[in-house]
Structure 1
Amino acid sequence: MKQKLHLWIEDYLFFPNALQKIISFLLLPLTFIYMLIILTKRAMAKPINFGIPVISVGNIIVGGSGKTPITIKLASKYENACIILRGYGRASKGLYVVSLNGKILEDVKTSGDEAMLLANSLPKATIIVSENRVKAILKAKELGCKIIFLDDGFSKYQISKFNILLRPKDEPTNIFCLPSGGYREPKGFYAQADIELLEGSDFKRVISIKKDGVISELPAKTLLITAISKPKRLLEFLPKNIKMISFPDHYDFTKDDISKIEEEYKDYSFITTGKDFVKLEKFNLKNLYLMDLEIQIDEKVNFSLMDEYIESFKKGAQK
């Protein structure tokens, strides 16, 4: 029931049917209020320059657009990099240094799934989770970090930053902001990006199926277990006959959840995403495969503006 509900909500937000469109239109008065609040916040914000390059990797729709893997791809090229994110789905509150120069200091319950995936994927970086991004930036500077990546930081108008916006290859047919649609900010805000990256053109996802770190073939009877936004998008990378059980984004799997799945799908192998794997590995699922995601950025993408932005801080430090 829960699976059907959150899939229904995602269809409503992005690709609504006739009934869902009617509901969307009925909620438009609330959407106008929401947009007014967004526009007021943006107009009144006075961005703070922290004296350190801050690169925001964000989107303007609800849910995943590839922010975390793009952040991993970009941050891996820099020394003394820090990635700051809110840490959705974590059991903790406040500021935590999840990893310091690659040394992991917290568990996945404290960090949240995305932060732990970042920590595992960036063995030299510092990862900080915090609801307050300003405090996190100051902490990163205190720790000696030289460049900061904000995962999902576009809406943090009070922070002076370089904005990279990710655009989905399949644009939602529902163009409204919340709660009438899946846009967190007006679609016209793409024009505010310093760099806009379109999936399928500027970057693509490459999936390798791995078992215990080795590239493998999936057994015929395999179940996909996931708790990411828009889980149906994973099916294009998997065999057509695969079954799927999905949970709400950032869901914290329980022992009872896994026991029920193992009981119902006794003869099946299982596959999951990297974000889900950091939460599932403690259950020691037999025959668990990983969808190992790599981002490939097209050579035509010009990052010279970002390079100039980063270089400007080096020049400022030399004066």
Structure 2
Amino acid sequence: MFNRKFHIWLEKYFYQPEFFELIISALLLPFSAIYYCIVWIKFKLAKPIKFDIPVISVGNLVLGGSGKTPLTKALFNEFSHKYKTFIILRGYKRESKDMQIVALNGDIKCDIATSGDEAMEYATNLQNANVIVSNDRKIAINEAIKLGAKLVILDDGFGKADIYKLNILLKPAINPRLNFTIPSGVYRYPKSFYNLADIILSSSDINRQTTIINPCHKMVLMTAIANPSRLEFIFNKCVGREFFADHHKFSKFECENILKKYNADSLLVTQKDYVKIKDFGLSVSILDLKTTILPNLANKIEIFIKNYKNSDTIHQKFKKEKYAKKQ
């Protein structure tokens, strides 16, 4: 219970701070300054390695979700029929260590404890999925190349400044009130680092469509995602809401108690949460978020892939276009 309340307070602290939160933020500014310097030095000293195949990174600058997973799915669906595509991610809060192949040509190679929830979401939701989790993304990229990869998508790869890649940054749907780096603000990379992106996307740049699979009359929303306020559009369709810390591992007993508490017909969950409870045998409704990328974005990425050997020039072209938009 304390854990849930603390994470709800954190969201308020980062996005809707009041007087008390602003005082805490001000007191933590010296630590934010130190953190800022460390991150800046890391990026400044990094010497990016260029692999034999193109690498695309989907990332953001803030803590928590900005829609990286749906966009990564959309990119895989767009390009995997042309190029053998691998999704590589850290596999946050997985119980395994080192590199793990989660899915190969649609064949799931491990359980969710080994993969982590986000990797298993990719493995179960994408046709002919190729998914690898690894703390060292360079090792994973080399393994993907051995397995025949022609394109790699890094989920949350912006911070890997030592990898040469096309950097796509997503802006959050809700703008933070404070523009400081953590712990005084929600930025894990300075806001000025948007200038390092090749492509910057906001919610208006992506087509998103949400449907409910197996809708019921009395659904209770149960979710363990970052910034659950992103699901506010669905609140009025639910008899109740239960928020947990990001990547929370649900138990069957916990889920049954939530159903009883609200006398609900089903649990309404995201795809990310569903992969953790699908074997519990409970009545479940699923928020299915489908993202499609607009032709302009698809064309830019296609240009990068086809001209990868001369991609330095492509990077410069994208940055000139981005600068021209600001003028």
CA RMSD of aligned residues (A): 1.8
Give the distance between the partners of 1:4 and 1:240, measured in 2 at CA.
Answer: 23
Q: Which residue matches 1:123?
A: 127
Q: CA deviation at 1:295?
A: 1.2
2:125 matches 1:132? no
Q: CA deviation at 1:90?
A: 1.3
Give the distance between the partners of 2:254 and 2:27, measured in 1 at CA.
Answer: 36
1:257–1:281 distance in 2 versus 1, CA, 3 Å? same
Match for 1:312 among 307, 310, 313? 307
Q: Which residue matches 1:90?
A: 94
Normalising by structure 1, what TM-score?
Answer: 0.91
1:9–1:34 distance in 2 versus 1, CA, 3 Å? same
Match for 2:169 among 157, 165, 169? 165
Paired residues in the alignment total: 307
Q: Which residue matches 1:293?
A: 289
Q: CA deviation at 1:208?
A: 0.3
Give the distance between the partners of 2:172 and 2:245, measured in 1 at CA.
Answer: 20
2:208 matches 1:205? yes
Give the distance between the partners of 2:131 and 2:238, measured in 1 at CA.
Answer: 38
Give the distance between the partners of 1:68 and 1:150, measured in 2 at CA.
Answer: 10
More helix as a share of residues: 2
What is the DSSP-based 3-state SS (H/G/I as helix, E as strand, rest coil) of the residue aligned with 1:156? coil
1:101–1:315 distance in 2 versus 1, CA, 3 Å? farther
1:166-185 equivalence runs, <5 A = 166-185=170-189
Q: CA deviation at 1:59?
A: 0.4
Indicate conservation of the 8 Å contact 2:252/2:277, yes or no: no
1:39–1:267 distance in 2 versus 1, CA, 3 Å? closer
Runs of 4+ in 1 over 6 A off after TM superposition: none
1:315–1:121 distance in 2 versus 1, CA, 3 Å? farther
Q: Which residue matches 1:284?
A: 281
What is the DSSP-based 3-state SS (H/G/I as helix, E as strand, rest coil) of the residue aligned with 2:13? helix
Normalising by structure 2, what TM-score?
Answer: 0.89
Indicate conservation of the 8 Å contact 2:220/2:259, yes or no: no
2:266 matches 1:269? yes
Indicate conservation of the 8 Å contact 1:80/1:125, yes or no: no
Deviations 1:164-218 (A, max 9, x none): 000123211121110111111111111111111111x10143110111xxxx4x3
AA in 2 matched with 1:265:
Y
Match for 1:258 among 242, 255, 260? 255
Q: Which residue matches 1:226?
A: 223
Indicate conservation of the 8 Å contact 1:80/1:124, yes or no: no
Match for 1:187 among 191, 207, 224? 191
AA in 2 matched with 1:208:
T
Percent of pairs with identical residues: 44
Indicate conservation of the 8 Å contact 1:59/1:167, yes or no: yes
Give the distance between the partners of 1:70 and 1:233, measured in 2 at CA.
Answer: 16
1:30-49 equivalence runs, <5 A = 30-49=31-50
1:236–1:63 distance in 2 versus 1, CA, 3 Å? same
Give the distance between the partners of 2:103 and 2:44, measured in 1 at CA.
Answer: 35
Higher mean C-alpha deviation, range 93-102 or range 1-10: 1-10
Q: Which residue matches 2:10?
A: 9
What is the DSSP-based 3-state SS (H/G/I as helix, E as strand, rest coil) of the residue aligned with 2:278? helix
Match for 1:243 among 240, 246, 270? 240
Structure 2: 5+ residue runs without aligned partners? 312-327
Give the distance between the partners of 1:198 and 1:267, measured in 2 at CA.
Answer: 35
Q: CA deviation at 1:305?
A: 3.5
Give the distance between the partners of 1:285 and 1:231, measured in 2 at CA.
Answer: 22
What is the DSSP-based 3-state SS (H/G/I as helix, E as strand, rest coil) of the residue aligned with 1:153? coil
Give the distance between the partners of 1:159 and 1:241, measured in 2 at CA.
Answer: 44
Indicate conservation of the 8 Å contact 2:221/2:238, yes or no: no
AA in 1 matched with 2:184:
S
What is the DSSP-based 3-state SS (H/G/I as helix, E as strand, rest coil) of the residue aligned with 2:222? strand
